[in-house]
Structure 1
Amino acid sequence: MKVKGRLTLISYKRHEPFIKEHEDRETIIVFTHGILEGPKQFIELSQLAYKRGHSVSALLLPGHGGSGVDFASSNSRKWMEYLEESLSQIKKQYNSIILVGHSMGALLSVLAYSKDSRKIDGIVALATPLNIRLKVSGMIRSIKIGMGSINNENALEVAAANAFSIEKSSILTYLSWAPRYIDLFYLVKDTRKKLSNIKVPLLIVHTKHDEFVSNKTLKLFNKRLNNTHKKIVTLNNSGHFYYDDNDLHVLKKEFELFLDSLSNA
């Protein structure tokens, strides 16, 4: 993968949820991050959505944004319940909701829709791990971030570190995370079963060089979403967290077009 452009390393210890609302608007975009991640990775997309007149909200799942012990004590049930409760409150105020999820956040978004589709008019699924593929490069990069050994000149490492929301922890604490990864696999299994339930427009964004998501994911989307208005966008020069300049431009453009198509429906 050719890396174009440089990124600035930001602190990944201060991920916080955020919400920015327009008065008298009926649509809100709800962003849900993936495992170990946080809301900061949605800053650019949320700014685009807000400029187009939509309210935006980026959630922080239980166990994230804090210590490794906090993360170890969380689980998929708490993540799912938190998203469901958040959407339940949002539905009291808004008549139209668009879900945007990255990685595990995409899984949770699909599952939340399957349980209660009321007022959900579209889903954007970024780097959805329906088939997980662990590349050595991704594993090494994750270990370096966990150890706090980040090369500020490496855009791939910087992008991953910026998305990471858990504080540096001990080896024993990292080992205690094993059940959370098992939770992730169960979420994958459940999401595969629920894909056929989706009846709203779906924008699927997959990166060709994703370090954690197999290209076989697209086959599952195509197989199980035959009756859904879906669009699949493949970014050829990006990874799970990193987008090169050209791919980022494509992502933003497709995101804007998707929002506009729902507004005009």
Structure 2
Amino acid sequence: MLLISDAQPFFFPRGRIACLLVHGFTGTPKEMRGLGEFLAGLDYTVLGIRLAGHATHIRDLMRCRWEDWLASVEDGLALLHSAYEQVFVIGLSMGGILALLAAANYPVHGAVALSTPYALPNDWRLKFIRWLKYLQPFVPKGNPDWHNPALAKEHREYPAYPTAGIEQLLALLSRMRQELPLIRVPVLLMHSRQDRAVSPENAIRIFEALETPEKKLVWVENSGHVLTCDTDYPIVFHEIAAFLKSFSQPGSVT
């Protein structure tokens, strides 16, 4: 198994509070690395995982089930919980779905979900995806959703969506919608009003479904879908840092 160049997982051991960073569907740990370096600079321990089937070859993703992606998160959480009492989980897009599921099912101190879908856009083909995946194994991606072309050049991802993976993403979304009301820990949602990949309405629907009293939705105005790497990334990073500072227990950062 060969990893895509410069898209490896990363681990920055620092203070006593740990953050698990989770990339998006067809993406790589690289899209979370800048955030990881920023948080490490604030003395948070950071683990950026590689989800099953990602950062290798797109055909590896075709063989994955949504449970495999959740297992990747579970493994990361288990590693951090073995050494750190406080663990936060931060995810981008599909990684945000997994972060919210982790918040509903595991002892995390809080969750951050960036550019996260509540549901996929209406498309008649989704009703037939169980069979379509055999006729059309891959779905082409549309125009890149970036505001800063220079930053976009550094992004690493698969060139298309595996249709079988979309079927699994639908199942993962269904699981998330069922479990959003179960979350009791603080949640930060961030979304761009200019996101063409996952419409802003998704953030509102997630926010409304959350029953935790500690929830916040923050909008940015000058980015596309990949909030951790586009124009507004400094705003995103500092909002996350403020969230972590607010909900971590005193005396836990060395």
Q: With structure 2 as the length reference, what TM-score do the two structures score?
A: 0.81
Q: Does residue 194 in structure 1 map to residue 179 in structure 2?
A: yes
Query: What does residue range 172-183 of structure 1 map to in structure 2 within 5 Å?
Result: 177-183=162-168
Rounded to whole Å, the distance in 2 between the matches of 1:106 and 1:227 is 16
Report the CA distance shift for 1:122/1:223 in structure 2 as closer, same or farther (over 3 A): same
Rounded to whole Å, the distance in 2 between the matches of 1:126 and 1:259 is 15
Question: Does the CA contact (< 8 Å) of 1:133 and 1:211 recur in 2?
Answer: no
Provide the secondary structure at the position in 2 that maps to 1:141: coil
Moved more, 194-203 or 40-49: 40-49
Question: Does the CA contact (< 8 Å) of 2:92 and 2:113 recur in 1?
Answer: yes
Q: Does residue 122 in structure 1 map to residue 103 in structure 2?
A: no
Gap regions ≥5 residues in structure 1: 1-10, 146-153, 169-173
Aligned to 1:141: 143
Aligned to 1:82: 72
Rounded to whole Å, the distance in 2 between the matches of 1:72 and 1:203 is 31
Aligned to 1:6: none
Aligned to 2:40: 50
Aligned to 1:35: 25
Report the CA distance shift for 1:160/1:230 in structure 2 as closer, same or farther (over 3 A): same
Give 1:17's match in structure 2, choosing from 9, 26, 35.
9
Rounded to whole Å, the distance in 2 between the matches of 1:161 and 1:107 is 26
Rounded to whole Å, the distance in 1 between the matches of 2:154 and 2:121 is 22
Report the CA distance shift for 1:255/1:264 in structure 2 as closer, same or farther (over 3 A): same
Gap regions ≥5 residues in structure 2: 123-139
Aligned to 2:129: none
**Which amino acid is 1:165 matched to?**
E
Q: Does residue 64 in structure 1 map to residue 66 in structure 2?
A: no
**Which amino acid is 1:53 matched to?**
D
Q: Deviations over 1:47-80 (max 9, x none)?
A: 2211111100100011111112222222212111
Aligned to 2:237: 252
Q: Deviations over 1:211-248 (max 9, x none)?
A: 22122213322322243301111111211026654x33
Aligned length: 230
Q: Deviations over 1:8-60 (max 9, x none)?
A: xxx964310000102xx321111001111011112221122111111001000
Rounded to whole Å, the distance in 2 between the matches of 1:194 and 1:97 is 20
Q: Does residue 228 in structure 1 map to residue 213 in structure 2?
A: yes
Moved more, 36-45 or 95-104: 36-45
Question: Does the CA contact (< 8 Å) of 1:131 and 1:214 recur in 2?
Answer: no
Report the CA distance shift for 1:239/1:133 in structure 2 as closer, same or farther (over 3 A): farther
Provide the secondary structure at the position in 2 that maps to 1:232: strand
Rounded to whole Å, the distance in 1 between the matches of 2:195 and 2:155 is 15
**Which amino acid is 1:125 matched to?**
A
Question: Does the CA contact (< 8 Å) of 1:41 and 1:162 recur in 2?
Answer: no
Report the CA distance shift for 1:47/1:213 in structure 2 as closer, same or farther (over 3 A): same
Report the CA distance shift for 1:133/1:127 in structure 2 as closer, same or farther (over 3 A): same
Rounded to whole Å, the distance in 2 between the matches of 1:249 and 1:158 is 16
Report the CA distance shift for 1:208/1:18 in structure 2 as closer, same or farther (over 3 A): same
Question: Does the CA contact (< 8 Å) of 2:4 and 2:56 recur in 1?
Answer: no
Give 1:215's match in structure 2, choosing from 200, 224, 227.
200
Give 1:164's match in structure 2, choosing from 156, 163, 183.
156
Q: Deviations over 1:176-197 (max 9, x none)?
A: x211011111111111111111
Provide the secondary structure at the position in 2 that maps to 1:140: coil
Rounded to whole Å, the distance in 2 between the matches of 1:264 and 1:89 is 20
Rounded to whole Å, the distance in 2 between the matches of 1:155 and 1:224 is 30
Aligned to 2:127: none
